[in-house]
């Protein structure tokens, strides 16, 4: 309290005069991304007609939110009718939609889930922890994997992975991280 009042008196203190105090560590990329995501989600709920209070938020709202984000996605997901269906590269333009890569959505849900709990939400009733969300994400993953020719990473068995397998899975990771969530 005292600190706050003294700071508001001398707003110039903000500069380089507080060496004696602990520099507030700048939030990590994860933390600031989490805050942005949480704000975006809150805004999304408020923009619903009628607005959805957080206490009424269910996994359905969360899944709708994920679908809504697809319009900002940069991952081409070919429809089954497309001639490039099953190809990671798109050699020519096609009208298939862009989506959020499932890896981005997966990471986003993790951040929102953490933010929800940090904001006082109970983990037991967290809409982000719902199994429906896990099912949805798995479906997106399978669907995108098929459309883009990315084979599923098999559960790690004792078989040594071949060179092709490792290079494919590396592509997968690259593409999902390069098309990270991008919305404002």
Tell me the closest approach of the beta carbon of residue 74 to Zn ion, in angstroms: 14
Stretch that binds Zn ion, among 1-9, 35-43, 75-83, 121-129 (CB under 5 A): 75-83
Distances (CA, A) of 115 to 35, 37, 65, 122: 7, 9, 16, 11
Q: Residue 88 in contact with residue 150, Cβ under 8 Å? A: yes
Cα dihedral 123, 127, 131, 135 sign: negative
Tell me the closest approach of the beta carbon of residue 87 to Zn ion, in angstroms: 8
Distances (CA, A) of 133 to 2, 11, 58, 87, 117: 45, 46, 10, 27, 17
- Residue 13 vs 83, nearer CB to Zn ion: 83
- Residue 15 vs 91, nearer CB to Zn ion: 91
- Residue 110 vs 145, nearer CB to Zn ion: 145
Residues 67 and 62: their CA atoms lie apart, in Å, by: 9
- Residue 54 vs 96, nearer CB to Zn ion: 96
Residues 172 and 155: their CA atoms lie apart, in Å, by: 15
- Residue 94 vs 98, nearer CB to Zn ion: 94
Q: Which of residues 86-115 bind Zn ion (CB under 5 A)?
A: 94, 96
Tell me the closest approach of the beta carbon of residue 78 to Zn ion, in angstroms: 4
Is residue 82 part of the contact set for Zn ion (CB under 5 A)? yes
How far from chain centre, in Å, is Cα 117? 17
Binding positions for Zn ion, rule: CB under 5 A: 78, 82, 84, 94, 96
């Amino acid at each position: 309290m005292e600190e706050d009042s003294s700071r508001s008196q001398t707003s110039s203190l903000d500069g380089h005069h507080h060496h004696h105090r602990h520099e507030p560590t700048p939030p990590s990329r994860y933390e600031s991304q989490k805050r942005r995501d949480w704000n975006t989600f809150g805004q999304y709920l408020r923009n619903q007609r009628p607005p959805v209070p957080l206490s009424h938020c269910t996994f359905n709202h969360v899944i709708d939110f994920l679908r809504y984000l697809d319009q900002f996605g940069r991952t081409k997901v070919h429809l089954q009718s497309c001639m490039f269906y099953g190809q990671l590269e798109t050699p020519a333009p096609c009208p298939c939609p862009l989506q959020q890569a499932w890896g981005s959505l997966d990471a986003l849900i993790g951040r929102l889930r953490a933010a929800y709990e940090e904001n006082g939400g109970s983990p037991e009733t967290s809409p982000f922890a719902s199994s429906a969300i896990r099912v949805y994400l798995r479906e997106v993953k399978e669907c995108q994997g098929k459309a883009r020719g990315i084979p599923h990473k098999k559960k790690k068995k004792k078989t040594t992975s071949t060179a092709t397998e490792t290079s494919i899975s590396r592509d997968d990771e690259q593409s999902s991280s390069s098309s990270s969530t991008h919305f404002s």
